[in-house]
Amino acid sequence: MQFDIVDFYPSISSELLTNSIQFAAQHVDISAETTDVVMHARKSLLFNNNSTWIKKNGSLFDVTMGSYDGAEVCELVGIYILSRLKTKFDNLQLGLYRDDGLGVIKAMSGSRLERIKKDIIKFFQDNGLRITIDTNLTQVNFLDVTLDLSNSKYWPFRKDNDQPLYIHKDSNHPPNITKQLPHMIEKRISDLSCNSDEFDKVKATYNTGLSNSGFSHNIQYNKSTSSKKTRTRKRNILWFNPPYNSAVKINIGRKFLSIITKHFPTHHKYSKIFNKNTVKISYSCSPSLRSIISKHNKKILKKDPNEQPGPANSDNNSKCNCRQSNPCPLNGQCLEVAFVNKATVTTENSTKSYTRSKRDILATRPLSTTITCLL
């Protein structure tokens, strides 16, 4: 049995979230303040072209995709739904990942299975949700794995003509990421394969993807069989995430940790909070130049042609794009009058000038993939 919750995020109601929090409070401590913060964060405002968008019911309550806790709210509601379904259908084994659900039930007559299907649909409707459901399946594609009940096998799943694409070996990423990427892919594909035969059927696709990204490593079946659980000590960690750039030659991590040691020695009253065991560093990856250019071009090319920039909003004059907070240096004609900006920098040894023609091209025109820097 496979089902999909239609428009899961926006369909979550205030009542459903409240019931989910009350259910979770039976297992973990949730203060009233935490509940108020979670519910208050559901108030969403959306503005476009000086107009306010609201839901048809007039409510500000919304679980938005991409918000800081949107996925957590979705998971909490999903756990609550699974608990209710388990109580109602005790002979049905269910799993849920966000809006994708999967269930297994012993073989039964078609009429009885159809009644269970209708009961499940009604259960979701009672909670303000809609689902699409397929039953009596022996093989399903769930996320990135194919499951087959007829022969108890499973193997990786990819859509047709979906060639995997990875970061290039020489890309500007932290070395530990590029070094471990082939091994991570090898482990993931091995875990998704029930045996070496299923692994060998799909490994050529992933080896080709790695080769196209500059890697010479060929993945091999290497499924971990160890079930030993290592004891991990939970500790509150503060993370410092500076953007990584291979052009930086300074050891940022060592400098940062030396600052922590210098300013929070062992006799300091905050040393138990700020020390090398509680403060860690992990580099973050900045967006590529290609994505920056693409975002900028989309922003410029998709502007509303009826929207007038800057002070032109008030007098329907499109000859100026200066900000409203600053007066136009050319009396509202900056887009029409040809002019040149020139800046001169004088040092003890030399004098250099920077000249810009008419207006800031990078702010008003689409960028090309070639950028020339004048030094």
Is pLDDT larger for residue 3 or for residue 344? 3
Sheet holding 100-104, edge to edge: 93-97, 100-104, 2-6, 130-134
pLDDT exceeding 90 applies to what percent of the chain? 41
pTM more than 0.75? no
Q: What are phi and psi of 273, to 5 degrees?
A: -95, -40
The residue among 10 and 341 whose pLDDT is bigger is 10
The residues, ordered by sequence, that sit 6+ positions from 68 with a Cβ below 8 Å of its Cβ are 41
Question: Tokens standing for 10?
Answer: 């926006």
Hey, what CATH class is 2-137 in?
A: alpha beta
pLDDT value of position 368: 44
Tokens of 43: 């108030």
Q: What is the mean pLDDT of residues 140-163?
A: 90
Query: Which residues are bridge partners to 238 per DSSP?
Result: 279
Least confident of 126-140, 147-161, 217-231, 352-366: 352-366
Residue 229's pLDDT is what? 67
Q: Are 184 and 167 in contact (CB under 8 A)?
A: no
**Using one digit for the tens of pLDDT, what is the confidence trace for 30-41?**
999 999 999 999
pLDDT tens track for 219-277: 999 877 666 666 777 778 899 999 888 888 888 889 999 999 999 999 999 999 999 88
Least confident stretch, 95-104, 209-218, 302-311:
302-311
Q: What percent of the chain has pLDDT over 70?
A: 83
Query: What residue ranges do the domains of the chain occupy?
Result: 2-137, 238-281, 302-364
